[in-house]
Amino acid sequence: MDEETRFEKRYLDKDLPWDVKRRDFNLANLVEDGTITPCKVLEVGCGTGDNAIYLAKKSFQVTACDASKTAISMAREKAQKKGVNIMFHKLDFLKEEVPGAPFDFIFDRGCFHSFDLKEERSLYANNAALLLQNDGLWLSLIGSADDVMRTTGPPKHSAQDIVEAVEPFFEIRFLKASHFDSDQVPPARIWVCLMQKRKMPV
Ligand X SMILES: C[S@@+](CC[C@H](N)C(=O)[O-])C[C@H]1O[C@@H](n2cnc3c(N)ncnc32)[C@H](O)[C@@H]1O
Neighbouring-strand partners of residue 174: 194
3-state helix/strand/coil string of 78-146: HHHHHCCCEEEEECCCCCCCCCCCCEEEEEEECCHHHCCCHHHHHHHHHHHHHHEEEEEEEEEEEEECC
User: Which residue, 170, 167, 192, 166, is CA-closest to 179?
Assistant: 192
Q: Which of 77, 49, 74 is nearest to 63 (CA)?
A: 49
DSSP 19: -
Residues 94-123: x where in contact with ligand X by CB under 6 A, - otherwise, as a string: x--------------xxx--x---------
Question: Which of 54, 60, 93, 105 lies at the binding interface for ligand X (CB under 6 A)?
Answer: 93
Q: How far is the CB of 24 from ligand X (least distance, A)?
A: 7
Segment 140 to 179, residues that bind ligand X, using CB under 6 A: none
Segment near ligand X (CB under 6 A); pick from 33-41, 61-69, 81-89, 187-195: 61-69
Calculate the CA 7 to chain-centre distance. 15
Question: Which one among 32, 77, 92, 171 touches ligand X, defined by CB under 6 A?
Answer: 92
**Residue among 9 and 176 whose Cβ is closer to ligand X:** 9
Q: Are 138 and 112 spatial neighbours (Cβ–Cβ below 8 Å)?
A: no
Binding ligand X (rule: CB under 6 A), the pick from 68, 127, 140, 144 is 68
Residue 54 touches ligand X, criterion: CB under 6 A: no
Residues that bind ligand X (CB under 6 A): 3, 7, 18-19, 44-47, 65-68, 71, 92-94, 109-111, 114
